[in-house]
Homo-oligomer: A and B are copies of this chain.
Amino acid sequence: MTSRKKSEARKEQILKAAEKIFAKKEFHEATISEVAREAGLSDATIYEYFSTKEELLFSIPRETTRRGMERMKGYLKFIRGAGNKIHTIIYHYLLFYQNAPDYASVVMLVLKSNRKFLETEAYQIIREGFRGILSVIEEGIDSGEFRPDTDPYLVRQMILGVIEHIVIRWLLLGKPKDILQYADPITDMIIDGIQNRNQTQGWNLHIKLEPQEDIRGKATPYTSRARRKHAPRKKK
């Protein structure tokens, strides 16, 4: 009981130390000795709690991820509308990473490109989170809030892609200082796109809802979704 608790505390202490160390160096450049020193323990003690350096690494996200996912679920419960939910998701991912830069480093720079990590328990939890995003998008499609031909997988990849890209840039280049500011514009872009509709909407009325056709004089604009029905698209 007490011993169980104490053991858990030790584990947590080691994981914190490992997170700090692995955040700063590549996995193979960080040493168990450094982790041990950071944790105020001896090398051998690390091995009492984790059988392998790799196991130690893979154990870092286990708890944190679980907790993060649960918190996210909590927030989402009270949000109405798929768009708002997506906004919430993006916002909290960014918030989460911003508040835990070491954790972010480990996940984004060390684990993300690790093949073995994909077979890990921690990764399974992360995948569940990803599946959650998917559900939100599908919910938006079903409710008519999102286009019916939306590819939910792609939308998710878009969301995760930008977040990852922004977080990695932030970790490596240190800019911008505040990544949270991106939550709104990212959501906007995902939902609205970047096409200028104010200008085209007026035209629409006159030209039977085929908006961009007539701007061609200036430049050949990108031929949008409406006109490329043939484009390969994954079905949900």
Residues of chain A at the chain B interface (Cβ within 8 Å): 26-29, 79-84, 86-87, 108-110, 112-115, 118, 140, 143-148, 150-151, 154-155, 157-158, 160-166, 168-169, 172-173, 176, 181-182, 184-199, 201, 204-205, 209, 215, 218-225, 228, 231-234
Q: Could you tell me if A184 and B118 are in contact, using CB atoms closer than 8 angstroms? A: no
Q: Could you tell me if A147 and B196 are in contact, using CB atoms closer than 8 angstroms? A: yes
Q: Could you tell me if B185 and A191 are in contact, using CB atoms closer than 8 angstroms? A: no
- Known pairs A84-B223, A158-B161. 8 more at Cβ < 8 A? A26-B28, A144-B196, A154-B189, A161-B161, A189-B190, A191-B222, A192-B224, A201-B204
- Closest-CB distance, A236 to chain B (whole angstroms): 13
* A193 CB contact (under 8 Å) in B115, B154, B192, B220: B192
Q: Could you tell me if A190 and B201 are in contact, using CB atoms closer than 8 angstroms? A: no
Chain B hits for A228, CB < 8 A: 184, 188
